[in-house]
Structure 1
Amino acid sequence: MLDKRATNRPERDTQNSDAQGRVRMRITPPPLAHEPEASPARSLLRPALVLALLTLAAVTYFTHSSLTVAAGLVFISLVTIYLMVAELRDKGRLASLIDETANRNRFEIEHLADRMWEMQESEERFHELIDALGDIIVHRDRDGRIVYANRVLSDLLGCRPEQLVGKKLRDVGVEIGVVPDSAFSNGEYLSSTDVVIRAKDGERWFSWIELSARDKVNNAVSHRAIARDITALKRAEEAANIARERAESANQAKSRFLATVSHEIRTPMNGIMGMAKLLADTRLSPEQKTYVNAVSTSASALLALIEDLLDYSKIEFGRFELEAQEVSPRELAENVVELLAPRAYAKSIGLGCHIDPQVPDTIRADPGRLRQVMLNVIGNAVKFTEAGGVLVELKLEGDMLRIDVTDTGPGLDEADIGRLFEEFEQGDGTSTRKHGGAGLGLAISRRIVEAMGGEITATGERGKGSRFTISLPAQKGRRKPQIVRTLNGRSCLIVSKNGMEAEAIARTITAHGGKPEIVPCIEHLVAAPGRAAYDVVFMDAEMENVDARLLKRLRGAGIRPSQAIILISPTDRGKLPRYRAAGYDAFLARPVRGETLMRVLTAAPVAANAAPAGDGERRIETTASGATSFSVLIAEDNDINALLARSALTKSGHQVKVVGNGRAAVDAVQERDFDVVLMDLHMPVMDGLDAIAHIRKFEEAKGKPPVPILVLSADGQEATRKGVISHGATGFLTKPLDPQALVAAVERHGKRLETEQHAARS
């Protein structure tokens, strides 16, 4: 009987076969059969039976015992048959075991073949995958020899992958070394670098990342690397570097262009404006004065346009810089209002300024740029207002200083507001507009305010005026102790047709505890006698000039103020004796400063930083007898500019020597002592900076005190100013020169030198 396990054969899965006819098998291996063991008794039983049979036959023959023989023979025969059957069964089992073992071996061989085929197929798919990624994959041994390299590297080098095996990277033109064993402190080391591979189609850049590791079991070292093509990125970086260098070169060229243009434009403007001012101080007929004023006005307008264009260019070129310092917003606003007041009065409109007492004395800002913003915004309000007036207000809102400029001009609609702060845009963009300009002032103002951390906005309604609001950070401002000036409820009557100016005065009075009332005329006051008397009456000089009996009529109606103050414009100063005769106790020059107003109302001393009332225009006055006369050296190659400076200083009583280049200036200083030196920056033979360096070196060698050197330049850039100061200059004056400012600067520095020399002698 055969064992059933001999018939258990492996079954093949014919549904999964590859293109080459290879069949994958799903096999459940049977358990191994046990080999039958031969019994020692059984192996001796057959010879024993044969011996027994022979013995039994012999006994029967000799004893003639037939029954015994027959029984013995039957027994022996049965035993012999049993043994033969058992032997045959054992042989069948052995044959079955041999067959089963053969099948088992065949199964295991086929199973191993299938596993090897699957592993080979998986490896091929993996290689195809890493080749398709486009990255270089390299495996190297401890000595840096290539164990494996994918097709990406071989294709780059123009060879087959197997040709790279056993070679080092430097042998194929890739400069990558082997990490030394000392770097494997933690068993592995990760490195990254950019390398150049000289491919068959030219050089290409790769980002090479390599992991070098040591096997903790057998201490074997291997280096596995992946490299990605970054040629496009490198080319983009190179292009960006070239573009940046070109941009920097262009910016430098633009900066030089700005400096050159500024110098070339300001130089002739200096001559035009300066000479016009000098000419205005001479004896002129009324017609000549008209012509001179026209020249000055036109030159000022041209200079303002040039300044706007240069500022806009600086902003666009990235050369716009701010110099933050302590600045008084009160002083700055009142100075700007006073500067623009003549324009307003020439149009018969009012211009008032109110500054809330809570406004800090100083804030951190660029005074020149903040003044420029105020001039632009307030100047625009004056320019576009034909009737009524302009009111400037400063107040504190939280940590922000708010500057409101309100006018009664044509107003603005939504479309105007939307484009008002854009470059080359104006509120009236039609070809028939009444006012000129390039439309840059507000755009530049917006850039300046935003650079200071603030904002500028506009509101308005067509036909009802407009309001511009400037908000600036004031958290760093500081306040000085204020002199208390309470009005204790004093009633003040303001008689004026200039509503904006009257409103500014009224708000200042209210802020200090007074009770103001504004009336455009006195008719209803005179018509209703018996009204309560006012403590103070403010009268507009324009109304007093029309009717010289206004104050008398008020008093006749029972309004008898304890103080009558007349509000005059700069042109009314010659009429002060007449106003005094009419009964006025004091006068205030328009536009009225808050400090001056409170001084008059309370008869209290003015704070140390308060400026006097506006004096209108004043001419350069010759130095009084006995005043100090300074010796001034002017180094200027432009004859007109030299003439302007010499004339202004000579008329002020100073001694002047003029030279035409820097070398001559150095020689002059070495020959004699000067109190002040005016040095042009750009001159032939030797420029201003070199001349300053030679002068300072000479003074140091001789042990002389440094003479004040004021640089004259049409290049108004902040970098230029800082540069000349760092080279040894004492001060910096920007062309076009204001003769009055020039004389003031010379006298200020001359007196300082005189004081220092006196202190040194004592």
Structure 2
Amino acid sequence: MTTQGKSGGKESRISSLAQHHDRYSEDGLFLRYVRGQVRVFWPRLAFISLISLALAGLASPIVGVVSILIAGTAELIDSMFMRYAYRKLQAGVPSRGLRRISALTGLLHGFGMFLGAASPYWVGALFSQNQAVEIDPLFAICVLAGAALNAGLLMPYNLPAAIARLSVYTIAPFVLLFSSDSVLSQMELHLRLGGLAILDGTLFWYLHFVNRSFARTRSMLLTQALQQQELEGAYQRLLEQQVEAKRLALVARHANDSVLLIDENNKVNWVNEAFTRLTGYGFDEILDREPGDLLNHPDTDPDALDQILEGRRKARPFRMEILNRHKDGRDIWLETNQVPIRGEQGGEMSYIAIERDITAAKQNAQQLEEARQAAEEGSRAKSDFLATMSHEIRTPMNGVIGMAQLLEETDLDTDQKLYANTILSSAKTLLALINDILDLSKLDAGQISINPCDFDLHQCIDETIRLLRTQAEAKGLTLDVERDADLPRYLNGDDHRLRQILNNLVGNAIKFTEQGRVKVTVEAEPTSGGGVLLNCSIIDTGIGIPKEMLTGIFERFSQADAAISRRFGGSGLGLAISRRLAEAMDGRITVTSEIGTGSCFTLALPFALASAADITVAPVPERTGDTDGLSGLRVLVAEDNRVNRLLIQKFLKQTDLELEFAHDGAEAVDKVKSFEPDIILMDVSMPVMDGLEATRIIRSWGQPQPAIIALTANAFDTDREVCLAAGMNEFVTKPISRTQLLEVLASFAQAHRVQMTG
């Protein structure tokens, strides 16, 4: 009902002006002209018939017949076109073209009336051999004058047709008066001209009067239409305001949210039913009282109350959350949204307060916060667990691998060498699995850092492939590398992570290929930022991956089939780590594969360009095992694990250096004063005092400082940062090989001698 009324109101509001436009537009006026011409066809035809009868009686029957034929035919043609035009206008055809044609039919109609009225002057001469009788033209002029008056009345409706008719009716009297063969005197000539001038002047004045009256009437009707529109608009606005007021009242009364009307003195004037459901207080209990008198909680934040008062003082909308109390004593959290409103003509200020119960949302938020804290605590516990397990596993692994290496260097028979090699290989496999788990944990915790630097791409690829070629040749596989001819040599990025990803992808391809080859193609395409997108494709002729498993192949601990894990081994972490590393470098890894044909892994990584001048090549120490540079070096080993102390002692047995051991950090601090070492191999996790605290104490002394190398089972980047921040010079993770230990000692021994010699 409301919608229909509103729609009807819109139609009424535009009907006055629309009606005026329809009546007085070019199309509207022409439509009225056409409709009028069609309507008065028979009266006009009767008028022509009367004139023809009069001519038949006054002149001759043949004159009457000719007159009605000519004038009636012209009238009929004009009327037929008017009917045609009326149908076109009803169909929506524009009137401009029809108006032009109506000018032609109007001109034809004017000539027809002229020839019909003047038939006594030419019919006798045309049908009789005798000379025509002299006839006074007054009759014909009067008929044409009447026709001119009628055409003048229609001028505002169809100007072209009216001009066409009036042109004929203006010229016709001159033709009638001056077509006679009789000779006129000067006075008769002047009288006729004067009469025609008066007639034409009267006609033109009449036309001017008609058009001015029409314009005045049109303007008056337009004014009335505008006034009517304003009245209808005002009435419609009043109705809409009433409807809107009723609608708002219904909405406010039946809304789920509490609605309060508060005056400028902070007194409640009205509340809806939801207020009672929300707070337990009825309308009579809250009327003319301040809301806070009933609703404020003892624990309500005073700052929240001050903000409410400040918002009302500044007369601006505000929204906030506040703790209130239900009538039954329950705590309820309300979200209040208050908007100031003024009365008519800037009268008294009041407020509309819309309040919503957010107690459940607050409780959910609290639960989410507790869940978040629990999750963070769980993440911290997982990190602590991984760090602890890394330390606890790497510590014995250091002894296992180290002792296995020492065992390999002794004289062993064939079976003993096999046993030693098996122990060392299994330990390294276990260490690789531990490293993968730690890498994945770092990625999950967002602790993997990307360290870009300038590097030689060709060297990076060659060294990575060289390390893997031995595995391929051991299985009888061909490992090929194809580089694009335009492949840039020097890039800026994290080459260590690139090597790690390539090692995983190519190593996987070799592991799952039993015969054939593994092919690595490397290409680069320029990017809009001035760098390149490196595309590496690793194609193998291995067992392939089922299509339904392609999406899950990059999940952790995932392989295409459980039988594959038993057949080829592996933890299923390599691809998961590789994809996460690629994503951390803003790249991606994709795969295509067919069972029995092989797989193709594509690595795409963005890099910036670098130049050869930007690359600093670090010297690679020669692994000769020469210990001459360690002669006379004083080394203190702070290590609480007996096996690791024994292992380091065996590693350094053939060196000419002074070696001293401390079982904890406190003992290490004491022995630094007495032993005065050049280098300290400092474990981090030790009883009594850890290595970090011991390092800080040593660094606080003013005496010459030794080089302190962290030799620890902690392998996280954060552990490295903490060690360096404590004052250590280097960070080496366990397990450590004899060669690696000698290289570290040699590098710091050389630096120590340079320092001592100045």
Which residue does the alignment assign to 1:734?
Answer: 733
1:267 to 390, 395, 399: 395
Residues 76-130 of structure 1, C-alpha deviation per residue, up to 9 Å, x if partnerless? xxxxxxxxxxxxxxxxxxxxxxxxxxxxxxxxxxxxxxxxxxx999999865542
- Please tell me whether the aligned partners of residues 630 and 657 of structure 2 are also in contact (alpha carbons under 8 angstroms): no
Does 2:625 align with 1:621?
yes
User: Residue type of the partner of 2:430?
Assistant: L
1:632 to 628, 632, 635: 635
Moved more, 438-447 or 679-688: 438-447
Which residue does the alignment assign to 2:438?
Answer: 310
2:464 to 336, 339, 364: 336
Please state whether the residue corresponding to 1:651 is helix, strand or coil: coil
Taking a change above 3 Å as real, the CA distance of residues 390 and 224 of structure 1, as seen in their structure-2 partners, is closer
Does 2:680 align with 1:677?
yes
Q: How is 1:653-732 mapped onto 2 (pairs within 5 angstroms)? A: 653-698=656-701, 702-704=702-704, 706-732=705-731
Taking a change above 3 Å as real, the CA distance of residues 380 and 177 of structure 1, as seen in their structure-2 partners, is closer
Which residue does the alignment assign to 1:452?
Answer: 585
CA distance in 2, matches of 1:382, 1:298: 19
Q: How is 1:424-503 mapped onto 2 (pairs within 5 angstroms)? A: 424-427=557-560, 429-430=562-563, 434-474=567-607, 476-480=608-612
Moved more, 130-139 or 170-179: 170-179
Please state whether the residue corresponding to 2:747 is helix, strand or coil: helix
CA distance in 2, matches of 1:179, 1:239: 28
CA distance in 2, matches of 1:161, 1:139: 12
- Please tell me whether the aligned partners of residues 308 and 440 of structure 1 are also in contact (alpha carbons under 8 angstroms): yes
Q: How is 1:121-160 mapped onto 2 (pairs within 5 angstroms)? A: 129-160=251-282
User: Residue type of the partner of 1:734?
Assistant: T
User: How much does 1:431 deviate?
Assistant: 6.7
2:474 to 327, 335, 346: 346
Which residue does the alignment assign to 1:193?
Answer: 320
| Matched positions, count | 505
CA distance in 1, matches of 2:346, 2:594: 89
CA distance in 1, matches of 2:453, 2:374: 35
Unmatched runs of 5 consecutive residues or more in structure 2: 1-240, 527-531
1:403 to 525, 531, 536: 536
1:224 to 322, 343, 352: 352
1:385 to 494, 513, 534: 513
CA distance in 2, matches of 1:451, 1:726: 26
- Please tell me whether the aligned partners of residues 280 and 327 of structure 2 are also in contact (alpha carbons under 8 angstroms): yes
CA distance in 1, matches of 2:371, 2:519: 50
Taking a change above 3 Å as real, the CA distance of residues 159 and 416 of structure 1, as seen in their structure-2 partners, is closer
Which residue does the alignment assign to 2:136?
Answer: none
User: Residue type of the partner of 2:733?
Assistant: T
Which residue does the alignment assign to 1:651?
Answer: 654
Residues 599-623 of structure 1, C-alpha deviation per residue, up to 9 Å, x if partnerless? xxxxxxxx995999xx9xx976242
Please state whether the residue corresponding to 2:681 is helix, strand or coil: strand
- Please tell me whether the aligned partners of residues 258 and 278 of structure 2 are also in contact (alpha carbons under 8 angstroms): no
Taking a change above 3 Å as real, the CA distance of residues 347 and 164 of structure 1, as seen in their structure-2 partners, is closer
User: How much does 1:359 deviate?
Assistant: 4.0
CA distance in 2, matches of 1:426, 1:256: 28
User: How much does 1:276 deviate?
Assistant: 1.5
- Please tell me whether the aligned partners of residues 198 and 204 of structure 1 are also in contact (alpha carbons under 8 angstroms): yes
Please state whether the residue corresponding to 1:743 is helix, strand or coil: helix
- Please tell me whether the aligned partners of residues 311 and 317 of structure 2 are also in contact (alpha carbons under 8 angstroms): no
CA distance in 2, matches of 1:151, 1:428: 64
CA distance in 1, matches of 2:517, 2:633: 45
Please state whether the residue corresponding to 2:714 is helix, strand or coil: coil
Taking a change above 3 Å as real, the CA distance of residues 311 and 291 of structure 1, as seen in their structure-2 partners, is same
CA distance in 2, matches of 1:470, 1:178: 57
Taking a change above 3 Å as real, the CA distance of residues 295 and 342 of structure 1, as seen in their structure-2 partners, is farther
CA distance in 2, matches of 1:405, 1:693: 49
Which residue does the alignment assign to 1:173?
Answer: 295
- Please tell me whether the aligned partners of residues 369 and 448 of structure 1 are also in contact (alpha carbons under 8 angstroms): yes
CA distance in 2, matches of 1:466, 1:149: 72
User: How much does 1:415 deviate?
Assistant: 4.8
User: Residue type of the partner of 1:173?
Assistant: L
User: How much does 1:718 deviate?
Assistant: 1.5
Taking a change above 3 Å as real, the CA distance of residues 281 and 351 of structure 1, as seen in their structure-2 partners, is farther
- Please tell me whether the aligned partners of residues 281 and 327 of structure 2 are also in contact (alpha carbons under 8 angstroms): no
User: How much does 1:682 deviate?
Assistant: 0.7
CA distance in 2, matches of 1:181, 1:314: 50
CA distance in 2, matches of 1:461, 1:120: 74
Please state whether the residue corresponding to 1:171 is helix, strand or coil: helix
Taking a change above 3 Å as real, the CA distance of residues 746 and 279 of structure 1, as seen in their structure-2 partners, is same
TM-score (norm 2): 0.60
Residues 719-753 of structure 1, C-alpha deviation per residue, up to 9 Å, x if partnerless? 22122222222111111112212221222123223
Taking a change above 3 Å as real, the CA distance of residues 432 and 344 of structure 1, as seen in their structure-2 partners, is closer
CA distance in 1, matches of 2:398, 2:741: 12
CA distance in 2, matches of 1:623, 1:301: 30
Please state whether the residue corresponding to 1:434 is helix, strand or coil: helix
Residues 219-272 of structure 1, C-alpha deviation per residue, up to 9 Å, x if partnerless? 633333221222222122111111111111111111101101111111111111
Q: How is 1:497-646 mapped onto 2 (pairs within 5 angstroms)? A: 609=617, 621-624=625-628, 628-646=631-649
Of Structure 1 and Structure 2, the greater helix share is in 2
User: Residue type of the partner of 2:651?
Assistant: A
- Please tell me whether the aligned partners of residues 404 and 467 of structure 1 are also in contact (alpha carbons under 8 angstroms): yes
User: Residue type of the partner of 1:434?
Assistant: R
CA distance in 2, matches of 1:632, 1:749: 11
Taking a change above 3 Å as real, the CA distance of residues 653 and 411 of structure 1, as seen in their structure-2 partners, is farther
- Please tell me whether the aligned partners of residues 179 and 212 of structure 1 are also in contact (alpha carbons under 8 angstroms): no
CA distance in 1, matches of 2:308, 2:368: 34
Residues 287-327 of structure 1, C-alpha deviation per residue, up to 9 Å, x if partnerless? 43222222111111222223223333444455554444444
Please state whether the residue corresponding to 1:386 is helix, strand or coil: coil
Residues 19-50 of structure 1, C-alpha deviation per residue, up to 9 Å, x if partnerless? xxxxxxxxxxxxxxxxxxxxxxxxxxxxxxxx
User: How much does 1:280 deviate?
Assistant: 2.0
Which residue does the alignment assign to 1:296?
Answer: 424
Residues 422-477 of structure 1, C-alpha deviation per residue, up to 9 Å, x if partnerless? 33333554279531112221222122112211122334554444433322112x13
CA distance in 2, matches of 1:610, 1:689: 29
Taking a change above 3 Å as real, the CA distance of residues 286 and 338 of structure 1, as seen in their structure-2 partners, is farther
User: How much does 1:647 deviate?
Assistant: 2.5
Taking a change above 3 Å as real, the CA distance of residues 334 and 276 of structure 1, as seen in their structure-2 partners, is farther
Please state whether the residue corresponding to 1:197 is helix, strand or coil: strand
User: How much does 1:195 deviate?
Assistant: 1.4
Which residue does the alignment assign to 2:553?
Answer: 420
- Please tell me whether the aligned partners of residues 454 and 610 of structure 2 are also in contact (alpha carbons under 8 angstroms): no
Please state whether the residue corresponding to 2:567 is helix, strand or coil: coil
Residues 542-599 of structure 1, C-alpha deviation per residue, up to 9 Å, x if partnerless? xxxxxxxxxxxxxxxxxxxxxxxxxxxxxxxxxxxxxxxxxxxxxxxxxxxxxxxxxx
CA distance in 2, matches of 1:654, 1:382: 44
User: Residue type of the partner of 1:732?
Assistant: F
CA distance in 2, matches of 1:327, 1:220: 76
Question: Identity of counterpart residues, as a percentage?
Answer: 34
User: How much does 1:274 deviate?
Assistant: 1.7
- Please tell me whether the aligned partners of residues 262 and 352 of structure 2 are also in contact (alpha carbons under 8 angstroms): yes
User: How much does 1:215 deviate?
Assistant: 6.0
CA distance in 1, matches of 2:243, 2:618: 95
CA distance in 2, matches of 1:269, 1:205: 58
Moved more, 441-450 or 642-651: 642-651
- Please tell me whether the aligned partners of residues 311 and 318 of structure 2 are also in contact (alpha carbons under 8 angstroms): no
